[in-house]
Amino acid sequence: MARFEEGRSISCPPLFEGEAYFQWSNVMKYFIQAQDFEVWEIIEDGFLEGPKKKKKRSANDTKAKLNAKAMHTILCGLNEEVSKQVSTCKSAKDIWEKLEKLYGNKKEEKKDGVPSCACLLSSSKVDGVLALNEPEVCWSNGKKCKVMEMLLSHK
């Protein structure tokens, strides 16, 4: 019989505590995109200037707002220790890149039957895998497994 556990909150970002960076970054990416896709674009493209002090709103002000929202969302998803490590960053892109630099190169361990390789993390690869009739996932040990079998067998 299948066992269902409580899912993640759709209003609170996933918490990163310094481990399982690739899994966290993937979940955080989709969390941010679901909240506001333009916020994710600011993280990808970057933004350094702050809002101008004019009465008239400009595109620069909108980007500054999106950058602040992106920074806030990412920081809400970090524990205090990790947050301190990115506290000097001036943009959401800087925070994201620093987290990648600090934690992205650490070898992810396979835990509880979850693939440890990053082969499914980029959206283009995910789309490609999902487009297949019976997609396979590569594991850190080189073994391949059909996605549906993996999902059905994972408890």
- Which pLDDT score is estimated for 14? 93
- Which pLDDT score is estimated for 68? 94
Mean pLDDT per 10-residue section of the chain, whose length is 155 residues: 66 92 95 94 84 64 92 95 95 96 71 42 43 48 50 46
- Which pLDDT score is estimated for 130? 46
- Which pLDDT score is estimated for 9? 79
Residue-by-residue DSSP string for the chain: ---------SSSPPPB-SS-HHHHHHHHHHHHHHH-HHHHHHHHH-------S-SS--HHHHHHHHHHHHHHHHHHTB-HHHHHHTTT--SHHHHHHHHHHHHTTSPPPPBTTB--SSTT-SHHHHHHHHHSSS-EEE-TTS-EEEHHHHHHH--
Provide the residue ranges of all domains of the chain, joining segments of one domain with +: 11-106, 111-155
